[in-house]
Amino acid sequence: MKLSRPVSWFLLAFGAWSWIIWITFVKNLIKDGSGLAFDDAGDPTGYFWVHLLLAVVSFVLGTVVGVIGFRGVRALRRTSYGGKQL
Protein backbone atom coordinates (compact mmCIF):
# COMPACT_ATOMS: atom_id res chain seq x y z
CA MET A 1 0.00 0.00 0.00
CA LYS A 2 1.27 3.45 -0.86
CA LEU A 3 0.36 6.47 1.26
CA SER A 4 -0.03 9.93 -0.19
CA ARG A 5 2.36 12.68 0.87
CA PRO A 6 -0.25 14.55 3.00
CA VAL A 7 -1.35 11.36 4.75
CA SER A 8 2.24 10.32 5.45
CA TRP A 9 3.10 13.72 6.94
CA PHE A 10 -0.13 13.75 8.96
CA LEU A 11 0.65 10.35 10.47
CA LEU A 12 4.21 11.40 11.26
CA ALA A 13 3.00 14.65 12.86
CA PHE A 14 0.32 12.77 14.81
CA GLY A 15 2.94 10.40 16.22
CA ALA A 16 5.12 13.32 17.33
CA TRP A 17 2.12 15.19 18.74
CA SER A 18 1.11 12.11 20.72
CA TRP A 19 4.50 11.94 22.38
CA ILE A 20 4.54 15.65 23.24
CA ILE A 21 1.03 15.60 24.72
CA TRP A 22 1.37 12.38 26.69
CA ILE A 23 4.82 13.17 28.10
CA THR A 24 3.38 16.43 29.40
CA PHE A 25 0.38 14.56 30.81
CA VAL A 26 2.55 11.99 32.64
CA LYS A 27 4.73 14.75 34.11
CA ASN A 28 1.60 16.51 35.39
CA LEU A 29 0.16 13.23 36.68
CA ILE A 30 3.31 12.52 38.69
CA LYS A 31 3.30 16.05 40.16
CA ASP A 32 -0.43 15.90 41.00
CA GLY A 33 -1.19 17.54 44.30
CA SER A 34 -4.98 17.42 44.15
CA GLY A 35 -5.25 14.04 45.83
CA LEU A 36 -6.55 12.24 42.75
CA ALA A 37 -3.33 10.49 41.71
CA PHE A 38 -1.90 9.87 45.19
CA ASP A 39 -3.59 9.28 48.52
CA ASP A 40 -2.63 10.94 51.80
CA ALA A 41 0.13 8.37 52.39
CA GLY A 42 1.64 9.17 48.97
CA ASP A 43 0.63 5.86 47.42
CA PRO A 44 -0.69 5.79 43.83
CA THR A 45 -4.46 5.54 43.49
CA GLY A 46 -6.59 3.78 40.91
CA TYR A 47 -6.85 7.10 39.07
CA PHE A 48 -3.06 7.17 38.74
CA TRP A 49 -2.79 3.61 37.42
CA VAL A 50 -5.64 3.96 34.93
CA HIS A 51 -4.23 7.20 33.53
CA LEU A 52 -0.69 5.83 33.43
CA LEU A 53 -1.98 2.82 31.46
CA LEU A 54 -3.82 5.21 29.12
CA ALA A 55 -0.59 7.17 28.58
CA VAL A 56 1.48 4.02 27.92
CA VAL A 57 -1.05 2.73 25.36
CA SER A 58 -1.09 6.16 23.72
CA PHE A 59 2.74 6.19 23.57
CA VAL A 60 2.69 2.81 21.83
CA LEU A 61 -0.06 3.77 19.38
CA GLY A 62 1.54 7.16 18.69
CA THR A 63 4.85 5.44 18.00
CA VAL A 64 3.24 2.93 15.61
CA VAL A 65 1.36 5.66 13.75
CA GLY A 66 4.49 7.84 13.59
CA VAL A 67 6.58 4.97 12.22
CA ILE A 68 3.99 4.28 9.52
CA GLY A 69 4.05 7.97 8.59
CA PHE A 70 7.85 8.04 8.58
CA ARG A 71 8.01 5.00 6.31
CA GLY A 72 5.46 6.62 3.99
CA VAL A 73 7.48 9.84 3.78
CA ARG A 74 10.68 7.90 3.21
CA ALA A 75 9.08 5.80 0.45
CA LEU A 76 7.73 8.91 -1.28
CA ARG A 77 11.16 10.53 -1.23
CA ARG A 78 12.63 7.47 -2.96
CA THR A 79 10.04 7.56 -5.73
CA SER A 80 9.96 11.34 -6.15
CA TYR A 81 13.36 11.34 -7.87
CA GLY A 82 12.05 9.91 -11.14
CA GLY A 83 11.80 6.40 -9.79
CA LYS A 84 15.52 6.25 -9.00
CA GLN A 85 16.49 4.52 -5.80
CA LEU A 86 18.80 6.56 -3.62
pLDDT digits (tens, 9 = 90+) for 38-86: 999 999 999 999 999 999 999 999 999 999 999 999 998 877 665 555 4
Residue 46's alpha-carbon distances to 36, 41, 43, 79, 81, in angstroms, are: 9, 14, 10, 50, 53
Q: What's the rounded Cα separation, in Å, for the pair 83 and 60? A: 33
Whole-structure pTM value? 0.79
What pLDDT is recorded for position 19? 94
Residue 78's alpha-carbon distances to 6, 20, 75, 86, in angstroms, are: 16, 29, 5, 6
Answer with the residue of higher pLDDT: 24 or 85.
24
